Every structure is written in C-alpha cells, then in structure tokens.
Structure 1
C-alpha cells in the first residue's frame, strides 16, 4: 500500500511540473509578441491565412509593394506597406471577390491576407 502512495505522489509531481512548464512557455510567447505573418495596408493590419489552394480568389489589380520588412524586436508593422514577414518589393494584389482580402504571390501560389475577425 505504501508503494501505491509513492507512485501516486510521483505521478502528481511529474504532471504538475509539465503543466507549469507549458504555461511558462505560453506566457513567454505572449510577452515577447506574436509571430503571426502581418502586413499593414493603409493603417489596417492584415494576417496571413495560408494559401488559396482552391483558387477561390481572383487577382483584380496590384495595390503596391512591401516597402519595408521588419527585423529584430519590431513585430507589429505600423507604417503603410510594412510587414514582419514579407520581403521588401513583394507585390500585393486586391481581389475581385472581396475588397478586404489581399493576395501575395509566393512560388506560383497566392497567400491570402485578411483582417482578423
């Protein structure tokens, strides 16, 4: 019976240690900032939602090119046509289907950018 309590105690210590480490990691991520792909277009922040694999959107016209890529500690793009992940010179396109969705061409596919709901 004594062994049962020892095993139970060890199990509780291990599980509580793992959960506190995961919580510490989550707190560090939010303290340091988000690593989401962001783009500022006319003061609005747009997020990458992945590639348009089903060809749901049609390119309407070029809106512009990324003017600056943020590096180092800068995470949130604050100026028009700045990004924390798109390289300088990357072309940005509006879509025929939705004026609030933008496309960025990447290796023959289009990355979909839209405001977070």
Structure 2
C-alpha cells in the first residue's frame, strides 16, 4: 500500500509537469516577425543596408518619393513602392555608386543597396 501511494504521487507529478508545458496553437504569438525592408526603383529591388554616416555619400539628386507602402511580408514589384518606407519618403541617388540610393527618414538617411 505504501508503494502504491508513492507510485500514484509520482505519476501525478509527471502528468502535471507535462501538461504545464503544453501550448495551445491559439496562444502562439506572431507579432515578433522581422522582414527585410525593400524599395523598388525602376523594377529593381533594393534592400535596407545601414544608416549613412555623415559625409559617406554625396547626394546627386532627388530621385523621387515613395508612392505606395505595401504589407511588410511582401516584396514590392512596382516602381517607388516599399514594404517599409512610408508614402512620401524622399529617395536620393548618390554620386559614388549607381546601385545605392538614400531614403531620408526623419533626420537620417538609410542606405538602400541593389539586390545582387
């Protein structure tokens, strides 16, 4: 009888421990998803590379503005669309490299490099 009680307590401990780690599929959070920031310019996709350091690039001219912001998990395929940048964000070409554009976000410039 004494061993029966110990065996029963051991079984209850194991069962309760296993059930506390189980998760319902509806409890899974999808909010912590990270996407690459893309910008489409003339049919080519550019990805966010880094923030530009002061003096690193010389702005050649204002290329245009983002016309449309799309969902974050979609790769843009229309000219001047982005899955990250807001509509109206100014885009600049640079003198140093024709495959790099700068996007002015608040008071900083984000570097966008052409996809290989």
Calculate the TM-score normalised by the size of structure 1: 0.65
Provide the secondary structure at the position in 2 that maps to 1:92.
Answer: strand
Residues 1:108 and 2:115 are matched in the alignment: no
Runs of 4+ residues over 6 Å off in structure 1: none
Counterpart secondary structure, 1:112:
strand
- Tell me how many residue pairs correspond in the alignment: 84
> Residue 85 of structure 1 corresponds to which residue in structure 2?
84
Unmatched segments (≥5 aa) in structure 2: 1-33
Structure (1 or 2) with the larger CA radius of gyration = 2
Post-superposition CA distance 1:56-95 (Å, at most 9, x none): 11111011110000026x5110100000000001110000
Equivalent-residue separation in structure 1 for 2:105 and 2:80 (angstroms)? 17
Query: What is the alpha-carbon distance in structure 1 between the residues aligned to residue 105 and residue 67 of structure 2?
Result: 17
Q: Which deviates more, 55-64 or 77-86?
A: 55-64
- Report how far residue 107 of structure 1 moved: 2.5
Q: Within 5 Å, which residues of 2 pair with 1:1-117?
A: 35-71=35-71, 75-117=74-116
1:97 Cα deviation after fit: 0.8
Partners of 2:84 and 2:55 lie apart in 1 by 23
Q: CA RMSD in A?
A: 1.9
Superposed CA deviations along residues 10-46 of structure 1, whole A, max 9, x for unmatched, are xxxxxxxxxxxxxxxxxxxxxxxx7100000000000
